[in-house]
């Protein structure tokens, strides 16, 4: 029998947001999809970096922190190598780390406009 995870989507989201903040990800937004009728995920977390190096660093640090703090790793990861749009899929939470220009092009927050949006400020 598989061991049940001892955290909620909200706890995982908190660790992810803090990791993004640590690497200075910009314009961090959580989209709560739980009441939209979509079964894609519970939460999307979206941010951007100003360079491909920063995008890669943010995505890698999110993976490191979730593994270290919650013993969790993404079920799937995409785009880390080209670092235009990195996706870390934790099943209930999907993290989107964009290069700024790519984020502006796809406007993912507008695609999920009916989701509750929460902006996360930098922690100093």
What is the rounded radius of gyration, in angstroms, for the C-alpha atoms of the chain? 14
Q: Which domains, ranges and CATH numbers included, belong to the chain?
A: 10-117 (3.30.460.10)
Instruction: List the pLDDT tens digit at each of the 124 positions of the chain.
Output: 333 444 578 899 999 999 999 999 999 999 998 888 766 888 999 999 999 999 999 999 999 999 999 999 999 999 988 889 999 999 999 999 999 999 999 999 998 888 899 999 866 5
Q: What is the pLDDT of residue 80?
A: 86
Contacts of 85 (CB under 8 A, 6+ apart): 55, 79, 96, 97, 98, 99, 102, 103, 106
Measuring CA to CA, which residue among 55, 57, 61, 59 is closest to residue 99?
A: 55
Distance CA 29, CA 112 (A): 12
- The strand pair at 93-99 and 85-89 is best described as antiparallel
97 DSSP assignment: E
Q: Which two tokens stand for residue 46?
A: 């979206």
Percent of the chain whose predicted confidence (pLDDT) is above 70: 90
């Amino acid at each position: 029998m598989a061991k049940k995870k001892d955290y909620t989507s909200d706890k995982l989201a908190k660790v992810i947001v803090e990791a993004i903040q640590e690497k200075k990800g910009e314009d961090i937004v959580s989209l709560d999809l739980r009441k939209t009728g979509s079964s894609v995920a519970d939460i999307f977390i979206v941010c951007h970096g100003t360079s491909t190096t920063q995008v890669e660093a943010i995505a890698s640090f999110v993976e490191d922190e979730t593994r270290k703090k919650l013993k969790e790793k993404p079920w799937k990861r995409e785009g880390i190598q080209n670092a235009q749009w990195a996706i870390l899929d934790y099943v209930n939470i999907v993290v989107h780390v964009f290069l700024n220009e790519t984020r502006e092009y796809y406007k993912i927050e507008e695609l999920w406009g009916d989701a509750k949006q929460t902006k996360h400020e930098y922690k100093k």
